[in-house]
Amino acid sequence: MERECALYVTETTSLPSLLLRTPGEIFAESWPERASTASAMNGLRFKRIYFGNELCARLMPSLTEVKHALDAARSMDWGFTLCTHTATDAALDAWSGLISNLLEFTKNTDDLEIVVNDFGLLRLLAKSQRDARLVLGRHMKRGLRDYRVASDPAPLAWTSEELDLFRAFDVVRVDLDTPPLGLSALHARTPLPAALHFPCGWSATGRICMTGSLAATPEAKFLPDIACRRECRHLSFELIPPDTTARVSALRSFPLTPADTGLSVFQKGTTVFYLPSQQALERTLGSIEGSSIDRIVLQPGLPI
């Protein structure tokens, strides 16, 4: 199976420095302590941009930003995938308007995808926005994401009801996270073509943002609708157990469980991410051969 690679970017300012580089080069620079994995990506070439944010409503891109990312993809003759997040009622209206404007702006939608992480938005788009292909996002099929578990969880099970949903809403693809201990052959079996987000996965996310509360007054801290300054674009925390506090740092591995999984764990914005060990990443790349995974979505940093 021919496998493509997609570049996941959450803001357009990073695009000029990334477009002409290979997946292996970007991986080695972005994840230096897992750099030996970069050689396994030498045969991959970017063919698509994933753009947007799936984890925080505060980081929803503007139409101008989306157009800029789409133009960048078109300039490289790549496909374009817009990523959306779990939506409130207000966010449903905002996404519907943005996507409607995007489709009017886009004359050729043959290679346009929308990643959906909300059942309300999925229903809305399936009824009204059929010019773009719909992808089931990582929120919609979570599986076990607890990085403290030191053994392989059971593989994802796909129910008949889910398969009926795919058909009813014309879903053409599913997105997966790299599991904390790496992808096994059983995890790689999906009922539709799949895209694997690599190398990080997210363990937990919410609407309360510690990072956005740093500069807030005491009475305004840790509220769902805090008016943040997008501090998470520049600041993240490494979570180090068992008795040290979170701190700003570069990537560093540490044993998180008695089995010494070699994971690194970070908080960025509203979300806790894990970076699997070198061994787990190598296992993952070895498990996708012969699977339904035909796309690797490379993250040049924590995807928020």
Task: Decide if 144 contacts 113 (C-beta within 8 A).
Answer: no
Q: Tell me the whole-structure pTM to 2 decimals.
A: 0.87
* pLDDT tens sequence across 164-176: 888 888 899 999 9
Q: What is the pLDDT of residues 110-153, one digit of tens each?
A: 789 999 999 999 988 887 766 789 999 998 877 777 777 666 66
The length of the chain is 304
Is residue 9 over pLDDT 70? Answer: yes
Mean pLDDT over 290-303 rounds to 91
Q: What pLDDT band is residue 82 in, cutting at 50, 70 and 90?
A: very high
Average pLDDT of the chain to the nearest whole number: 83
HSE (side-chain half, CA atoms, 13 Å) at 19: 15
**Beta strand extents in the chain (DSSP E only):** 4-9, 46-52, 79-83, 112-116, 133-136, 171-177, 194-198, 201-205, 237-238, 264-268, 271-275, 293-298
| Cα dihedral 215, 252, 206, 296 sign | positive
Architecture of domain 4-200+278-298 in CATH? Alpha-Beta Barrel (3.20)
The answer, yes or no, to whether residue 255 has pLDDT greater than 70, is no
What confidence score (pLDDT) does residue 205 get?
Answer: 87
3-state SS track over 54-73: CCCHHHCCCHHHHHHHHHHH
Distance of CA 184 to the CA centre of its chain: 19
Which residue shows structure tokens 């740093």? Answer: 214
- At 181 the pLDDT is 83
Strand order, beta sheet including 201-205: 201-205, 271-275, 264-268, 237-238
Nearest residue to 174 (alpha-carbon basis) of 127, 133, 144: 133
Name the 3-class secondary structure at 114: strand
Is it true that the peptide bond before 199 is cis, omega within 30 degrees of 0? yes
Which residues of 77-218 form beta strands (DSSP E)?
A: 79-83, 112-116, 133-136, 171-177, 194-198, 201-205
Reduced to 3 states, what is the DSSP secondary structure of residue 46? strand
pLDDT tens readout for residues 53-73:
999 888 899 999 999 999 999
Q: Which of the four pLDDT bands, split at 50, 70 and 90, describes residue 258?
A: very low
